[in-house]
């Protein structure tokens, strides 16, 4: 997956005056899912992303591939069932990236065991053949065995259930590689700047800017799909300045701690916080991630900031359940994501997480809402609509059993791997090539003693995964920034020199990259 080659393909298709079947605007889970689905059906597809793939919400989730126990409580059975099915398909198609995780709901009141026990049995039932394992009641001792960090005072027992976990940005990069493997042209750092309209007034292409070269690109297409998350309405208004608001935004934050705050391999699920939401504390890449919140936001941004009350809320709520309550100074990183919620009545936390497909009078096809977990189903629905709307060849969806790039049976790469190499498992089949690079002692060196990442991963990210900046490497190709903001900042210099050598950039570029990344990392710290 090389950026120059991708841009060249956009240029060549324009020169040949052949429209793409589908042009997608937005390189998050939704847009990349559409690109994969369309390419897998044999349609020609181009995708442009304003920043890096996954820069938006899709790298900032709670990292759960789940049906959503909370939606069950809200009575949204169809959403839960569809998400549980997608959870099963995703684990089957990307076993290198999705794995089962046990969750425990601790019980401190007598009614909680029967209440959550029955609710989670229903969750198992709805999963049907896509189930990850049966839930069951736990004694007090079993609960503490699974969650040794839990507050023991007043604890009566718990309920264990199973859901999925993943690395969101890594899955996104592998989806981009899947799309590329299937012939799609996907370009990062290439914002759509306008939508083209034909003589009939219908949208028939995208104007975009290659921000690396300043070149303006014209991408003619039979159908344009707007998959820009919280930026949905901005793109709709490129074609119709009067378009009414479709999406409102709410933000959710996560705090990341040292793993000692959550010993063991089980996640903690608090089913009802003081604001009526759920809170998770989950083990992730050797750390503990706690979240999330739901706070309405006025204007979308690519780098949303946490509010002080959100930080306090998570510290306090997690502190009520953990025997060693985390404090401010224990926070290694804070990250913030914005939910694109389809406008409706009521509080943002009660708005539906279903996806919506909307066709403007200009023929622009917008897809928004939904969840990471359901990206494949959303894409199938969207491409079905695109085929009808654009009179494209009617080809069947092929993604239900499509292996995601790097596909490797779970555990197939295990065996003699050292702990240090274990983190490479998320690359799936590509891990072998990274190990080969790491055979060179310079590239085999760790970038920071606190995190497992190797210099070889920087080189791989630049050569094969279209990483263009230090941030791309430290935020999304590896997850350093999301795990430990200070350690990530400390890695900026070596990463900048490795990248400069790979991308043919000079020292000045590398120094500017270090400066930009260090400033960004400050926002991921809690002071």
Ligand X SMILES: Cc1cc2nc3c(=O)[nH]c(=O)nc-3n(C[C@H](O)[C@H](O)[C@H](O)COP(=O)(O)OP(=O)(O)OC[C@H]3O[C@@H](n4cnc5c(N)ncnc54)[C@H](O)[C@@H]3O)c2cc1C
Cβ 107 vs Cβ 123: under 8 Å: no
- Determine the 3-state secondary structure of 215 from DSSP: strand
Contact between 235 and ligand X per CB under 6 A: yes
We find the least distance from the C-beta atom of residue 268 to ligand X, in angstroms, to be: 15
Q: Of the candidates 95, 157, 229, 326, which one interacts with ligand X according to CB under 6 A? A: 229
**How far from 337 is each of 103, 346, 424, CA to CA, in Å?**
23, 21, 26
d(CA 362, CA 195): 10
Q: Of the candidates 13, 228, 425, 478, which one interacts with ligand X according to CB under 6 A? A: 228
Sites for ligand X among residues 371-390 (CB under 6 A): 371-373
We find the least distance from the C-beta atom of residue 427 to ligand X, in angstroms, to be: 21
What is the contact mask toward ligand X in residues 4 to 33, using x (rule: CB under 6 A)? ---------------------xxxxxxx--
Contact between 300 and ligand X per CB under 6 A: no
We find the least distance from the C-beta atom of residue 251 to ligand X, in angstroms, to be: 7
Q: DSSP strand E in 143-292: where?
A: 157-166, 185-187, 192-197, 203-210, 215-226, 247-258, 267-270, 279-284, 287-291
We find the least distance from the C-beta atom of residue 202 to ligand X, in angstroms, to be: 19
What is the contact mask toward ligand X in residues 116 to 155, using x (rule: CB under 6 A)? ----------------------------------------
- The residue number with the shortest CB distance to ligand X is 28
For ligand X, the closer of residues 292 and 362 by Cβ is 292
We find the least distance from the C-beta atom of residue 8 to ligand X, in angstroms, to be: 19
Q: Of the candidates 13, 62, 399, 478, which one interacts with ligand X according to CB under 6 A? A: 62
End-to-end CA separation in angstroms for the chain:
39
Contact between 249 and ligand X per CB under 6 A: no
- Number of shown-chain residues binding ligand X (CB under 6 A): 38
Sites for ligand X among residues 318-377 (CB under 6 A): 337-340, 370-373
Contact between 295 and ligand X per CB under 6 A: no
d(CA 19, CA 525): 46
The residue range among 51-59, 317-325, 423-431, 471-479 that interacts with ligand X, by the rule CB under 6 A, is 51-59
Contact between 161 and ligand X per CB under 6 A: no
**How far from 88 is each of 34, 66, 172, 398, CA to CA, in Å?**
19, 9, 18, 16
Contact between 47 and ligand X per CB under 6 A: no
Q: Of the candidates 10, 35, 38, 50, which one interacts with ligand X according to CB under 6 A? A: 50
CA dihedral sign, ordered 146, 264, 426, 34 = positive
3-state SS, one letter per residue, for 127-148: HHHHCCCCCEEECHHHHHHHCC
Q: For the beta carbon of residue 120, count every other beta carbon within 10 angstroms.
A: 24
Contact between 89 and ligand X per CB under 6 A: no
Cβ 10 vs Cβ 46: under 8 Å: yes
Q: Of the candidates 3, 9, 41, 51, which one interacts with ligand X according to CB under 6 A? A: 51
d(CA 177, CA 143): 41
CA dihedral sign, ordered 372, 374, 380, 383 = negative
**Residues in touch with ligand X (CB under 6 A):** 25-31, 48-51, 55-58, 60-64, 66, 191-192, 227-229, 231, 235, 252, 292, 337-340, 370-373
């Amino acid at each position: 997956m090389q950026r120059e080659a991708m841009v060249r393909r956009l240029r060549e298709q324009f020169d040949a005056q052949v429209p793409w079947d589908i042009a997608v605007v937005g390189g998050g889970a939704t847009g990349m899912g559409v690109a994969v689905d369309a390419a897998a059906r044999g349609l020609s597809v181009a995708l442009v992303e304003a920043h890096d793939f996954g820069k938006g919400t899709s790298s900032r989730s709670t990292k759960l591939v789940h049906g959503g126990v909370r939606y069950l409580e809200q009575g949204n059975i169809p959403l839960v069932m569809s998400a549980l099915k997608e959870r099963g398909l995703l684990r089957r198609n990307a076993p290198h990236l999705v794995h089962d995780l046990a969750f425990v709901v601790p019980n401190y009141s007598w009614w909680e065991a029967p209440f959550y026990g029955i609710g989670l049995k229903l969750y198992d039932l709805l999963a049907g053949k896509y189930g990850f394992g049966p839930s069951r009641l736990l004694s007090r001792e079993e609960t503490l065995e699974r969650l040794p960090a839990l507050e023991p005072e007043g604890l009566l027992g718990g309920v264990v259930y199973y859901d999925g976990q993943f690395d969101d940005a890594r899955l996104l990069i592998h989806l981009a590689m899947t799309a590329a493997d299937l012939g799609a042209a996907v370009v990062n750092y290439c914002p759509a700047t306008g939508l083209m309209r034909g003589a009939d007034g219908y949208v028939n292409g995208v104007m975009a800017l290659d921000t690396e070269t300043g070149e303006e690109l014209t991408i003619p297409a039979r159908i344009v799909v707007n998959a820009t998350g919280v930026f949905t309405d901005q793109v709709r208004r490129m074609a119709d300045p009067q378009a009414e608001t479709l999406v409102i935004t709410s933000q959710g934050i996560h705090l990341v701690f040292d793993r000692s705050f959550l010993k063991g391999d089980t996640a903690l699920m608090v089913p009802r916080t003081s604001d009526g939401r759920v809170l998770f504390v989950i083990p992730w890449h050797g750390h503990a991630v706690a979240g999330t919140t739901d706070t309405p936001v006025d204007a979308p941004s690519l780098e949303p900031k946490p509010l002080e009350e959100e930080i306090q809320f998570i510290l306090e709520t997690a502190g009520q359940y953990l025997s060693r309550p985390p404090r401010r100074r224990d926070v290694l990183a804070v990250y913030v994501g914005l939910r694109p919620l389809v406008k409706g009545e009521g509080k943002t936390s009660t708005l539906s997480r279903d996806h919506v497909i909307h066709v403007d009078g200009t023929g622009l096809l917008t897809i928004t809402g939904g969840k990471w977990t359901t990206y494949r189903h959303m894409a199938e629905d969207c491409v079905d609509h695109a085929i009808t709307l654009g009179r494209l060849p009617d080809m069947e969806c092929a993604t239900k059993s499509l292996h995601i790039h790097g596909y490797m049976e779970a555990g197939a790469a295990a065996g003699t791997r050292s702990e240090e190499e274990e983190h490479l498992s998320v690359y799936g089949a590509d891990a072998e090539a990274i190990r080969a690079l790491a055979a060179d002692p310079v590239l085999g060196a760790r970038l920071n003693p606190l995190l497992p990442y190797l210099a070889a991963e920087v080189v791989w990210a630049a050569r094969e995964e279209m990483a263009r900046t230090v941030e791309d490497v430290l935020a999304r190709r590896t997850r350093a920034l999301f795990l430990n903001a200070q350690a990530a900042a400390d890695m900026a210099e070596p990463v900048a020199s490795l990248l400069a050598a790979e991308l043919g950039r000079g020292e000045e570029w590398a120094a500017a990259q270090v400066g930009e990344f260090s400033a960004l990392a400050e926002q991921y710290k809690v002071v």
